[in-house]
Copies of this chain bind each other. A is one copy, B any other.
């Protein structure tokens, strides 16, 4: 094997996905492990090494140029993750160094959503775009803002936290310790919270009443909506309305050509995206109306983050 490879790792709140990627953006080997369930960061790193060391040995370490990692609150400048509300590890973790030490390869870290944005820009729905926003709708809400063809990292590397823009002033509590964050409403966990609130407050019939409230998931709400359940559809409309309102404000700042949606909840894009578009348009300043595309990720199987992370290596 003479080709040069990069290892891309996408660390989500629930799962870690990885892939060995060639320079054409083809994922040759892929796999996953749970992000949660490890007592400490060192146990997680040990589990990661246990899976990846055999793959790297078989491929030949000499064929792998390096490792790119996307993780929530990952900092491109410092290689650390810091106070990530959706990861099990608290405080500041020197993740790039820990992974590099464990796997004996150079490692570069960025925000998971910035990695996904890079993947979409090089290989996906944002190919050729200089100005776009990538929104990840998973356990949390993340984002990568691209302006003038470059990711906005900000002066300290922590820019692009759309999930922690206040969508509802004095709204429901967020994992970050504040109230009303977009993430508290429009993530997979956010729509489930709304479902449980409504099931308590309201009396209308819905398929979701067949499941104990604590067992309701975003996937279940999506299935109910696909079956025409009015309550589930209203949950998606409410979620899309809050997202659309907040995105209308973001358009006033960076005026993207497109907003691209990625992640677990975005798999319900057929239902969710039209609501987002409708409520974004209804809230846009007139000069922005009918100019901003709302698109699902163009990369299969949520490959964008792995591809984007791997692209950090080149």
Contact assessment for B253 and A158 in the assembled complex, using a CB-CB cutoff below 8 Å: no
Q: Does A194 contact B (CB under 8 A)?
A: no
CA–CA, A147 to B133, complex, Å? 14
CA–CA, A129 to B255, complex, Å? 22
Q: Does A286 contact B (CB under 8 A)?
A: yes
Contact assessment for B257 and A165 in the assembled complex, using a CB-CB cutoff below 8 Å: no
Within 8 A of B (CB), among A276-310: 283, 285-288, 291
Contact assessment for B256 and A161 in the assembled complex, using a CB-CB cutoff below 8 Å: no
Q: Does A176 contact B (CB under 8 A)?
A: yes
Residue numbers in B under 8 Å from A254 (CB-CB) = 145, 152, 154, 159, 253
- Copies of this chain, whole number: 2
Binds B, one of A20-28, A199-207, A244-252: A244-252
Residue numbers in B under 8 Å from A160 (CB-CB) = 252-253, 255
Contact assessment for A156 and B249 in the assembled complex, using a CB-CB cutoff below 8 Å: no
Contact assessment for A287 and B147 in the assembled complex, using a CB-CB cutoff below 8 Å: no
Contact assessment for A252 and B155 in the assembled complex, using a CB-CB cutoff below 8 Å: no
Q: Does A177 contact B (CB under 8 A)?
A: yes
- CB-nearest residue of chain B relative to A169? B169
Binding site secondary structure of chain A: loop
Contact assessment for A253 and B162 in the assembled complex, using a CB-CB cutoff below 8 Å: yes
Contact assessment for B165 and A256 in the assembled complex, using a CB-CB cutoff below 8 Å: no
Residue numbers in B under 8 Å from A130 (CB-CB) = 155
Q: Does A83 contact B (CB under 8 A)?
A: yes
Given the interface pairs A82-B287, A160-B253, the reply to whether A131 lies near B147 with Cβ below 8 Å is: no
CA–CA, A252 to B164, complex, Å? 7
Contact assessment for A148 and B145 in the assembled complex, using a CB-CB cutoff below 8 Å: no
CA–CA, A161 to B161, complex, Å? 19
Residue numbers in B under 8 Å from A152 (CB-CB) = 131, 147-148, 253-255
Chain B: minimal CB distance from A302 (Å): 24
CA–CA, A155 to B156, complex, Å? 25
Given the interface pairs A154-B147, A257-B155, the reply to whether A162 lies near B252 with Cβ below 8 Å is: yes
Q: Does A56 contact B (CB under 8 A)?
A: no
As a 0/1 sequence over residues 252 to 267 of chain A, the CB contacts with chain B under 8 angstroms (1 = contact) are 1111110000000000
Q: Does A166 contact B (CB under 8 A)?
A: yes
Q: List 26 A-B contacts (CB under 8 A).
A: A83-B286, A131-B155, A131-B159, A147-B148, A148-B148, A148-B150, A148-B153, A150-B150, A153-B255, A154-B254, A154-B256, A156-B255, A157-B255, A159-B253, A159-B254, A161-B252, A162-B252, A165-B249, A166-B283, A169-B169, A169-B245, A176-B285, A176-B286, A178-B283, A249-B249, A250-B253
Apart from A152-B255, A166-B245, what are 7 other A-B pairs with CB-CB below 8 Å? Answer: A131-B155, A145-B254, A154-B256, A158-B287, A161-B253, A165-B252, A177-B286
Q: 9 nearest interchain CB pairs?
A: A154-B255, A159-B255, A155-B257, A161-B252, A131-B155, A147-B152, A165-B249, A164-B285, A148-B150
